[in-house]
């Protein structure tokens, strides 16, 4: 599957907050514009390397779309823009300087395990949403399945 077909969200698969964020996105993306892969997965690691990013850096959400890669607050705001209303309105925060947005993002990311916990392994998607996860066999068999 070409990565340009969908916006791909790479997330920390052992982070409870990150897993909840993926569920949040799925629930607000009726068009199924987004696909997902843990940063720790083969797909995630491959995409990080392909875009010149350190595959050991797991403290940021990454959005891959249209051949471009977006990190930290910019990734989060671009994801919000792709969700149903009212979430696209958050994209207006992009007007704040990126260094300020990213500083707030990094501050939160550094505390996410402490506040929300960490799983021993990446959580498996429910059968209903397996096709949205790029590292799952169901996604490879039928990438257009919903």
Residue ranges for the chain with pLDDT beneath 50: 1-3, 137-146
pLDDT in tens, 70-107: 999 999 999 999 999 999 999 999 999 999 999 999 99
At 140 the pLDDT is 40
- The model's pTM: 0.81
Residue 107 maps to a domain: yes
Residue 31 maps to a domain: yes
User: Which domain covers residue 96, as residue numbers?
Assistant: 3-141
At 133 the pLDDT is 80
| DSSP secondary structure code for residue 22 in this structure | H
At 132 the pLDDT is 82
Residue 146 maps to a domain: no
Spatial neighbors of 73 by CB under 8 A, at least 6 apart, are 93, 98, 101, 102, 104, 105
At 55 the pLDDT is 86
Residue 80 maps to a domain: yes
Number of domains in the chain: 1
């Amino acid at each position: 599957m070409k990565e340009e077909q969908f916006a791909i969200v790479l997330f920390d698969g052992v982070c409870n907050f990150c897993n909840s964020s993926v569920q949040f996105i799925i629930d607000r993306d009726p068009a199924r514009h987004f696909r997902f892969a843990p940063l720790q997965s083969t797909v995630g690691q491959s995409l990080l390397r392909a875009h010149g990013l350190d595959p050991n850096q797991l403290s940021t959400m990454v959005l891959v779309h249209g051949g471009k890669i977006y990190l930290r607050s910019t990734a989060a705001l671009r994801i919000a823009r792709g969700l149903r209303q009212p979430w696209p309105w958050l994209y207006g925060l992009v007007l704040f300087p990126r260094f300020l947005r990213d500083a707030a993002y990094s501050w939160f990311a550094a505390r996410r395990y402490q506040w929300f916990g960490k799983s021993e392994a990446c959580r498996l998607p429910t059968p209903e949403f397996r096709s949205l996860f790029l590292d799952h066999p169901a996604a490879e068999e039928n990438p257009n399945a919903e």
